[in-house]
Structure 1
Amino acid sequence: MVSVRPTAADSTEARQLLAEYFGMRAATFPGAYTPVFPAPESFDPPAGVFLIVADEGELAGCGGIRRIPDGPRGIRYEVKHLFLRPATRGRGWGRLLLDELERHAREWGAGDLVLDTHHTLEAAAGLYASAGFVPVEAYNDNPNATRWYAKPLCAD
């Protein structure tokens, strides 16, 4: 049975999954990829949360949200490092993880959930669109990003 649970962003499990994610991105990224391990404290509630997805105790993926400067609808959280091991994709676990991150953002009063990604991650773009994210102007200067998305979590 699949489970989603919080962990420290610098836990052994989180670092293992992030290293896999960064390695995969570096191997397939067009041009130079700049991996950045997240500052662990940015994922300490209520500043954020880092989640692990496991299947029968086996690590399957990870992702987190962290608070960033407020936007037009107030509090904003940013989705970071959403990753599922290739063998576990297509089972709906990315959506499960994204939904759980959104739940936390709503619980902490977020007006928006935002994220950045790269245009080569087409499956991720499909997940974000199906979850209600829409393209927006760049809100950061991430050198690894070519697309930015937002999902309003409250009425204007």
Structure 2
Amino acid sequence: MDIPVYLDADACPVKDETYRVAARYGLTVHVVANSVLNLPREPWIVRVVVGPELDAADDWIAARAGPGSIVLTADVPLAARCVRAGAAVLSFTGKPFTDASIGMALATRDLMQSLRESGAVTGGPRPFSARDRSEFLGALDRAVNRIRRG
């Protein structure tokens, strides 16, 4: 069973970890970005370069996401679209986006955006850590196994 993985690749810190898990399970990874990225030359890694339009990568991924697929993104609105389509969706820190959590994630995103637009200094996200990388690896492995079991 081929499980397609859709990687929102612009500013993704876990590309290598994604490739490692994909190689272990024989998955196809669609690396979606607005520009050409340097990728390993593997037949199971598919480079997808979309146009420069705002949300072009998101639209490409959302159009293909569904049951039996995995979407990897830090973009909460994209995550919401893919969760609604039935895909397994993970953040780059390994946090799963689910029906139960996506509403709160969207509300938090909107609040933080509103605060930034009003001039508040929000500090931004914390630095990406080795623990985040490890959590991502475990979460991706669990998502693959959950889909494989049906």
TM over 0.5: no
Q: Which has the higher contact order (CA 8 A, sep 6+)?
A: 2
Query: Of the two, which has the highest radius of gyration?
Result: 2
Q: TM-score, normalised by structure 2?
A: 0.31
Q: Which has the higher strand share?
A: 1
TM-score by length of 1: 0.30
